Amino acid sequence: MPGATEVAERAPASRLVKAGIAVPVGPASLAQLTSKNSVIDKLQHVQSALRESQDRLNSIIQSAMDAILTIDEDQRIVMFNDAAEKMFGCTAADAMGQSMERFVPARYHATHREQISQFGAAGATKRTMAGRQAMYARRTSGEEFPIEASISQVETSGEKLFTVIVRDITERRRAEEVREWLAAVVESSDDAIISKTLSGTITAWNSGAEKLFGYPSAEVLGKSIEMLLPPDRAGEETEILARIGRGERVQHFETVRVRKDGRRIDVSATISPIQDSNGIIMGASKIARDISERKRAECALRSLSDCNESLMRATDESTLLQRICDLVVNVGGYRMAWVGYAVHDEKKTVRAAAFAGHEVGYLDTLHMTWADEERGRGPTGTTIRSGKARVCYDIATDPSFAPWREEALRRGYRSSMVLPLKSGSEVLGAISIYATEVRAFDAAEQHLLEELSNNLSYGITALRARQDRRQAEEKLARKADELGRSNADLEQFAYVASHDLQEPLRMVAAYTQLLAERYRGRLDDNADKFIGYASEGALRMQVLIQDLLAFSRTGRRETSNVSVDCNSVLREVLQTMASSIQESRAVITHQELPVIWADRTQIAQVFQNLIGNAIKFRREVPPVISIRAEKADQHWMFSVSDNGIGISAEHAGNIFVVFHRLHTRSEYPGNGIGLAICKKIIERGGGKIWVESQAGSGSIFRFTVPLQSPDAPEGATK
């Protein structure tokens, strides 16, 4: 390809002149000016200056980025620069003398010609700009490309020439298109898209931002982004912009902003740095989305799943179910909710136990079952069988919803979620929830509703357990009542029997005694023996009957509680027992004992029975007995310990039963009634009695007496 100077040299001088690039300085005109030397010098100077300027101009033209070509009135090319060669894919030599229309797509030919002729008609003199025209040019290869062209007219020696400057704007147009496209995307976005400088001045504001914040762009451009901040979040933007300035990106930042109307909105924003072509951060772009609705739903659902209060307050199951259904509809904003229980009948029916919301007879149309058949393979039946939650994203298309689709859609249900209600591993039923939108249950919502159904399951289980316990308690109370009555009957019988038997027994005893006295030695030996047995038996019977009577009386007698000093009671008991203590050489010690609120005689009897046993059931060594009392939370605990024969663990519980003895009378005398009386006395006083012992190693009998009996006056205990 020829260089700039080459073209200039090759092109005839007249052409350059015509093109307005060279000034006509021929030898004839020079000769006229050589009359004076000084004039010649000046002219030579001018001439060289002109040449210089012409060279400069040539090199500018040739090195220009734009294609520059000159055409005559018939559109023939008279000059074609380097850039033109490149742009049109044609050498200057080929282009010279050709019509410029060669480089213009046919559809522009007419316009083109018109423009050139208008130029001529306008009689414009020099270099008149024809304005910038956006149009298309054509390369030699036939490829069209967008150009921007300007045209100017040069009139030289009566001939009209036009200089056309053409710029290939393919790249620019492409960039513009991308930019326009992006601008359209930004403008049509529902999200607010804002740009701001690093100091927080708003520089761009799309229609999404207008909608979200309520300000038209004219009211915010050039203002500070701080205008959107609620007072409690002042400084938040400064912090974000500082991070942006460090090149960080702030993603899914959830915060609160204030709209033009003063309403607070929850937004989620992603803020990214904007860099210039040198990578220097100039500002930030922010994409913000209104999440108020999501937040509200989240909040509502959280309060739903947090329905412990309802669970706590519910006293019966149907109220609980109703309350939860109401909450789901009223707080959760769902269209309808119902609870179905799995009935274990032949048809495996699902019985509706509660519902709330827009039901309008829907449940009657269900004929729901949890059996593995068509009406049992919908969400509810499947959930009950599998124990797993089911989501139906679109009732209109979900095949499992077919049997109920029409009725459901008629009531405005579009998607549903069914959750199992379980007690342990048993599925009791399910709660079904319907929403008006397709795909209303997103992952977070499903999670919260699962929590809700778990809580409800727990509530139902707890209520049922509470009811079972109440029933068991009632049954127990009934049994205790019956037992008490039969005990009372028995006691009554024992009392009456022992009381009434006394008289005939006394007679038997008296007459056998008489028989023995009068006829001993008069009959044969056997008769004497038999009479002896009879009177012995009658005496023993008398003792037994008296003991039994004493036992019965213990239960019947009204207790008269008073303040009792156990030290003095013990002293009296020990005095009564002095002879047996002496005889057995028993050593009895005791600590300081408390004053208690009790029946004095009965407490004395307890001490006497326990100490008596401790002496009676001694080993070969003299008995060592100690009596103490210690204060516990609500009672005094007394203990009577001995070093006697002890009791094996298996018998420890039985010895308090009336007439229960571990030894024969010949080993240890007694009727087995002493401990039964102790038990009765202690338990009537609200305490307990038990023994800690091992065979052969002594026993500790312990009993408790309440610190203060319910009807005791203040200060009765110390």
Q: Is 139 in the site for ligand ADP (CB under 6 A)?
A: no
The residue to which tokens 């559109």 are assigned: 75
Q: Where are the beta strands (DSSP E) in 464-523?
A: none
Candidates 123-131, 255-263, 478-486, 670-678 — which segment interacts with ligand ADP by CB under 6 A? 670-678
Q: Is 545 in the site for ligand ADP (CB under 6 A)?
A: no
Q: Is 85 in the site for ligand ADP (CB under 6 A)?
A: no
Q: Is 382 in the site for ligand ADP (CB under 6 A)?
A: no
DSSP assignment of 174-241, as one string? HHHHHHHHHHHHHHH-SSEEEEEETT-BEEEE-HHHHHHH---HHHHTTSBGGGG--GGGTTHHHHHH
663, 667, 683, 694: which one binds ligand ADP (CB under 6 A): 663
CB of 476 to ligand ADP, least distance (A): 29
Q: Which two tokens stand for residue 708?
A: 């203060």
690 Cβ contact list (under 8 Å, min separation 6): 652, 701, 702, 703
**What's the angle, vertex CA 700, arms to CA 699 and CA 706, rounded to 5?**
155
CB of 657 to ligand ADP, least distance (A): 9
Candidates 195-203, 259-267, 285-293, 674-682 — which segment interacts with ligand ADP by CB under 6 A? 674-682
- Quick check: 656 and 676 in contact, CB under 8 A? yes
Candidates 184-192, 315-323, 440-448, 657-665 — which segment interacts with ligand ADP by CB under 6 A? 657-665
Comparing CB distances to ligand ADP, the nearer of 452 and 625 is 625
Comparing CB distances to ligand ADP, the nearer of 2 and 670 is 670
Q: Which residue is nearest to ligand ADP (CB)?
A: 670
Spell out the alpha helix ranges (H) of 352-393: 362-366, 379-386
Q: Is 644 in the site for ligand ADP (CB under 6 A)?
A: yes
CB of 666 to ligand ADP, least distance (A): 13
Comparing CB distances to ligand ADP, the nearer of 139 and 661 is 661
320, 673, 682, 689: which one binds ligand ADP (CB under 6 A): 673
Taking the C-alpha atoms of residue 316 and residue 305, their distance in angstroms, rounded to an integer, is 19
CB of 613 to ligand ADP, least distance (A): 3
CB of 686 to ligand ADP, least distance (A): 21
The residue to which tokens 């046919």 are assigned: 106
Q: Is 624 in the site for ligand ADP (CB under 6 A)?
A: no
Q: Is 322 in the site for ligand ADP (CB under 6 A)?
A: no
Q: Is 699 in the site for ligand ADP (CB under 6 A)?
A: yes
Taking the C-alpha atoms of residue 162 and residue 152, their distance in angstroms, rounded to an integer, is 6
Q: Is 419 in the site for ligand ADP (CB under 6 A)?
A: no
Beta pairing, strands 415-423 & 561-565: unpaired
Q: Is 273 in the site for ligand ADP (CB under 6 A)?
A: no
319, 436, 671, 708: which one binds ligand ADP (CB under 6 A): 671
Q: Is 614 in the site for ligand ADP (CB under 6 A)?
A: yes
Comparing CB distances to ligand ADP, the nearer of 464 and 688 is 688
Comparing CB distances to ligand ADP, the nearer of 497 and 662 is 662
Comparing CB distances to ligand ADP, the nearer of 486 and 648 is 648
Q: Is 463 in the site for ligand ADP (CB under 6 A)?
A: no
Q: From residue 351, how far is each of 62, 344, 345, 358 by CA, in Å?
A: 94, 10, 11, 18
Comparing CB distances to ligand ADP, the nearer of 353 and 676 is 676
Laid out side by side, the sheet with 281-290 consists of 202-205, 192-197, 281-290, 264-275, 250-258
Q: Is 623 in the site for ligand ADP (CB under 6 A)?
A: no
103, 334, 597, 617: which one binds ligand ADP (CB under 6 A): 617
Q: Is 674 in the site for ligand ADP (CB under 6 A)?
A: yes
- Quick check: 154 and 126 in contact, CB under 8 A? yes
Q: What are phi and psi of 205, to 5 degrees?
A: -155, 105
CB of 474 to ligand ADP, least distance (A): 35
Comparing CB distances to ligand ADP, the nearer of 338 and 617 is 617
Dihedral over alpha carbons 704, 707, 708, 714 (to 10 degrees): 150
How many binding residues for ligand ADP (CB under 6 A)? 21
Neighbour-count burial for 337-353, b at 16+ CB within 10 Å, e otherwise: bbbbbbeeeeebbbebb
CB of 617 to ligand ADP, least distance (A): 3
Of 611, 620, 629, whose CA–CA distance to 674 is shortest? 611
Of 419, 407, 336, 352, whose CA–CA distance to 380 is shortest? 419
Query: Considering only residues 554-613, where is the footprint of ligand ADP by CB under 6 A?
Result: 609, 613
Q: From residue 247, how far is each of 5, 225, 436, 480 by CA, in Å?
A: 51, 19, 44, 81
- Quick check: 58 and 5 in contact, CB under 8 A? yes
Q: Is 154 in the site for ligand ADP (CB under 6 A)?
A: no
148 Cβ contact list (under 8 Å, min separation 6): 132, 133, 134, 166, 167, 169
Q: Which two tokens stand for residue 688?
A: 């307990």
287, 655, 681, 716: which one binds ligand ADP (CB under 6 A): 655
The footprint of ligand ADP (CB under 6 A) covers 609, 613-614, 617, 642, 644-647, 655, 661-663, 670-676, 699
